[in-house]
Structure 1
Amino acid sequence: MRDIFVVSVIFGLLPFVLRRPWLGILLWSWLGYMNPHRLAWGFAYNLPFSMIVGLVTIAAFMASKEKKEMPWTRETIFLLIFVAWMLFTTLFAFYPDVAWMQWDKVWKIQLMIFLTALIINDRDKLHWLLWVIVLSFGFYGIKGGIFTIINGGAYRVQGPSETFITGNNELALALVMTIPLIRYLHLQDTRKWMKTGLAAAMVLTGVAAIGSQSRGGLVAMVAMGIFLWLKSRNKIVTGLYMAVAVGIIAAVMPQEWYDRMNTINTYQDDQSAQGRINAWHTAFNVAKDRVTGGGFEMWRPPVFRQYAPDPYNVRDVHSIYFEIMGEQGFIGFALFMLLGLLAWLRAQQIIKRCKKDPDKKWAADLAAMIQVSLIGYAAGGAFLGMGYFDLPYHLMVILVLVAKFSGVLQKQPVPVGGFGKRREAAAG
């Protein structure tokens, strides 16, 4: 029944995508973040839904009469350069077969992210996209929070199989990044019942992130929580929600959870932690030796035997920073870090220009919450290998759209070759 339901919903929506391409972005985001087909047990499990939706969306957009204008800003330009660099490094990968398979996933994700910038052309469509992202991850947050409370934190909260968020660590990071987005929707909604529901969703998602029993998730949760409180409009209300979540966690989590979290302070005695540090040294040594790094999926025994301090302690890298450094080299790492910096600066620009304008307050709120989400990614990602995860790149492009719809990006004349052409540029 699940298979039939999923197939019916997706194919039932495709005719609407043909008429309104922006619905294809929403449908693709739902498939990419919630992965509903991975919750089925039969024929729908392996169907290429994302590819089908992507192709229909592209065809519909190309055939539409909508204005096709890419907001070329510093963020989108450097993201395109980063994608091109990843293609270049794949040509020189240690393991070409698996590297090209990973590249095939990465470029398709990035294509749809650029299509988001092209197709989502007003605030209402952007609002719907945010709802889709929140509901996709919120499904696992609410379900996982209830599961944690009922079982007293005895079992780990996991994500759907064969996805970016399959493991407890990966799901924890995604949930931490989702909480600020729920808070944004909570700030914008005026209906009491909806605000109550979103507040409950924030608390339960926080409980689910802790219920994953991920140490990296705990680090991300603490960093995100601090910035969520600092960036929040109403610090008393935000503090109350955080206190409720902490109270639930303290009441339900077993001693085994505390023991596991305490190993953060004794990482020298933890074999898993030492294996990660060994992999980080390996990443640095590969990047130092090769300008293009080792390429996607380089974490194999021969690489460790050549580049690792402990050549026989072979583990996954478990860090977005060293993952990018090892696989894409120092140039790729610099581009990755630059993207994060540019996103932060863009958010600051939006906040500065919009926070005192009642009509643009929404933009300042969203920019601040995206900053909080990216802080969670930056902190938790130090211990999780999710360097190519869709969401942070999607949020970077969403920031560009927020700047565009709030008037922070303005049309400015730029003479090119003697002709008075115009392009999208940051105001001021």
Structure 2
Amino acid sequence: MLDLVFLAFIAYVLVLGIKRPFVWVLLYVYIDILAPQRIGYSLITSLPVSLIAFAAAFGGWLVLDRKEGARFTARQALLVMLLGYCWWTTGNADFPEPAATKWDWVWKALLFAIFLPFTLTTRARIEGLALTLVLSVATIVIGTGMKTVLGGGGYENLNFFVNDNSGIYESSTLATVAIALTPLIWWFTRFGTVFRPHWMVTTFAVLLIFACLMVPIGTEARTGLVCIAVLGVLLLRYVKRRVLYVVGAGLAGLMALPFLPQSYYERMATITAPSGDESASTRLAVWEWTIDYAKENPFGGGFDAYRGNSFTYVMPVREESGNTATLRYKKVTDEGRAYHSAIFELLGEQGWPGLAIWFALQGLGVWQMERIHRRWKGEGHEPPDEREAWIAPMAVALQLASLVYFVGALFQGIGYQPVMLMIIGLQIGLATYCRRLDSARSGLERSARAGASRARRKAAPGGAVAAG
């Protein structure tokens, strides 16, 4: 029955897109994030629904959609460079078969991020994509939040829609994405046009943000706690009453403490003492190995090059016997451990060139959104037009999403995370849209100045004589 519901919805959207092909782009976003083919049980699992939506999105834009306002930008060029470089390293990978498996989804995520800005030519499309992103992730987050509140959480114990600890369904990845999208969720309470600002929209947004904050607690993902702290600090720049904000956040945190399980405290305590946690100790050892590997292989070893690592490290072990606690050190030998960091993931797989491209892609996005925010918030200029007041807050939300993602990516191998690549596409689309507005405004100003100049010449005495 569940398979039929999914297939009926997908078929309906495919038919709907015949008149409005941009809907197929949103369909692919929905399928790529939620992965209904992994949730179903029978028929949908055997159909290439993701490939169908992928082909419809590209084909619909090429054949049926308008191309007005489409521009190729510098950040899209960086994505093309990263895609080409990943293709080259895959062909020369240390482990060809695992590299080919990862390449199968990475190239789609990168190519879709390159393509996405071409379709974002209006405010309605930009908002539609943002809303689809939020609601698709919300489908997973709401269930996670409810299970957490009802007591079904715990590290590696919280079940999502699928029994697969990969992609966005990996606990730390979901926690990072959920926290990164919270500013965008709040944006819809003030500027949404699909769902107009209303107390029901605000109530849903508040509950959804609460569910997002529950994800790091329910999954006991340490990265999620770090992302919450970083977002809280970043928001200080934009709140008007900073003292009230800090006090309120502190009180909310204190009120939540009694409701947190003991396992959560024990899990979070390893943040301050990483050497005593085997997972954290392994990460440090992998990072050291990756740096040494990059010295010998500066152009990278292709996807999953970490499979060649092997290292030994010393870890303290605390043993308790009655009232006595002893600390001893043991040697741990490990091999084939993942990077657990996007920085070292890019460094090990794509070498220094790939890491440089990735850094440029992320840094330019933050800088670009900062420029848009300053340009369109109205300070130092005329107040923004009511129809343009949404632009600066949208830029802030997308900038915060990038910064939170970057912090979360420091501790996870999510350098090619599809949702965050879509955020990059959304940033590029917003920047292109603003550039068109600026160009149109400059053209009107030039026309106005030329008209005023002609009027002055006609009004001058010499001009009047010449006219007579």
Fold shared per TM-score above 0.5: yes
Relative to structure 1, the CA distance from residue 395 to residue 282 in structure 2 (aligned partners, 3 Å threshold; closer, same or farther) is: same
Distance 1:262 1:253 in 2: 13
For 1:257, which of 232, 255, 264 is the aligned residue?
264
Correspondence for 2:190: 187
How far apart are residue 363 of structure 1 and its match? 1.2
Q: Whole-Å Cα distance in 1 between the matches of residues 87 and 255 of structure 2?
A: 46
2: CA distance between counterparts of 1:385 and 1:112? 20
Displacement of 1:18 in angstroms is 3.1
Alignment of 1:43-122 (within 5 A): 43-64=43-64, 66-67=66-67, 70-122=70-122
> Alignment partner of 1:51: what SS?
helix
Q: Does residue 375 of structure 1 match 2:403?
A: yes
Separation of aligned partners in 2, 1:237 and 1:116: 40
Tell me if structure 2 keeps the 8 A contact 1:24–1:57. yes
- The worse-fitting range, judged by mean Cα deviation, of 316-325 and 147-156 is 147-156
Q: Distance in 1 between matches of 2:67 and 2:248?
A: 43
1:167 aligned partner = 170
Contact kept, 8 Å, 2:395 with 2:427, in 1: the verdict is yes
Tell which deviates more after alignment, 267-276 or 34-43: 34-43
1:348 positional shift: 0.7
Q: Whole-Å Cα distance in 2 between the matches of residues 249 and 152 of structure 1?
A: 17
Residues 1:68 and 1:297: Cα distance change in structure 2 (over 3 Å): farther
The aligned counterpart of 1:417 is none
**3-state DSSP of counterpart to 1:299:** helix
Contact preservation (8 Å) 1:186, 1:199: no
The CA distance in 1 between the partners of 2:102 and 2:245, in whole Å, is: 40
Indicate which of 207, 215, 233 corresponds to 1:226: 233
Report the counterpart of residue 290 of structure 1 in structure 2.
Answer: 297
- Is the contact between residue 152 and residue 218 of structure 2 (CA under 8 Å) also seen in structure 1? no
Aligned residue in 2 for 1:421:
none
Q: What does residue 217 of structure 2 align with?
A: 210
In structure 2, the residue corresponding to 1:313 is in which secondary structure? strand
- CA displacement at 1:68 relative to structure 2: 6.2
* Cα distance in 2, alignment partners of residues 56 and 49 from structure 1: 10
Aligned partners of 1:293 and 1:328 also within 8 Å: yes
Give unpaired runs (5+ residues) of structure 1. 413-428
In structure 2, the partner of 1:177 is: 180
Deviation at 1:188, TM superposition (A): 1.8
Question: Which residue number in structure 2 is paired with residue 387 of structure 1?
Answer: 415
TM-aligned CA deviation for residue 239 of structure 1: 6.4
Q: For residues 199-229 of structure 1, what are the alpha-carbon distances to aligned partners after superposition, in whole Å with 9 as ceiling and x for unaligned?
A: 1211121122322101112112211222134
* TM alignment of 1:142-157, pairs within 5 A: 142-151=142-151, 153-154=153-154, 156-157=157-158
Task: Answer yes or no: is the 8 Å Cα contact 1:404–1:410 preserved in 2.
Answer: no
Instruction: Confirm or deny: 8 A CA contact 2:239 2:245 kept in the other structure.
Output: yes
2:345 counterpart of 1:313: no
Provide the identity percentage.
25
Larger Rg: 2
Match of 1:345 among 344, 367, 373: 367
Contact 2:141 2:212 in 1 (8 A): yes
Pairing 1:272–2:283 present: no
Decide whether aligned partners of structure 1 residues 102 and 38 sit closer, same or farther in structure 2, where only a CA change above 3 A counts. Answer: same
**RMSD over aligned Cα, in angstroms?**
2.5
Summarize the Cα distance change of 1:134–1:235 in structure 2 as closer, same or farther, 3 Å threshold: farther
Using the size of structure 2 for normalisation, the TM-score is 0.81
Shift of 1:278: 1.3
Query: Which region of structure 1 is more displaced relative to structure 2, 152-161 or 239-248?
Result: 239-248
**1:44 is matched by which residue type in structure 2?**
I
> Cα gap change, 1:282/1:19 in structure 2, threshold over 3 Å: closer, same or farther?
farther
Q: Distance in 1 between matches of 2:210 and 2:346?
A: 32
TM-score (norm 1): 0.88
Give the CA deviation at 1:280. Answer: 1.0
**In structure 1, what is the Cα distance between the partners aligned to 2:209 and 2:245?**
10
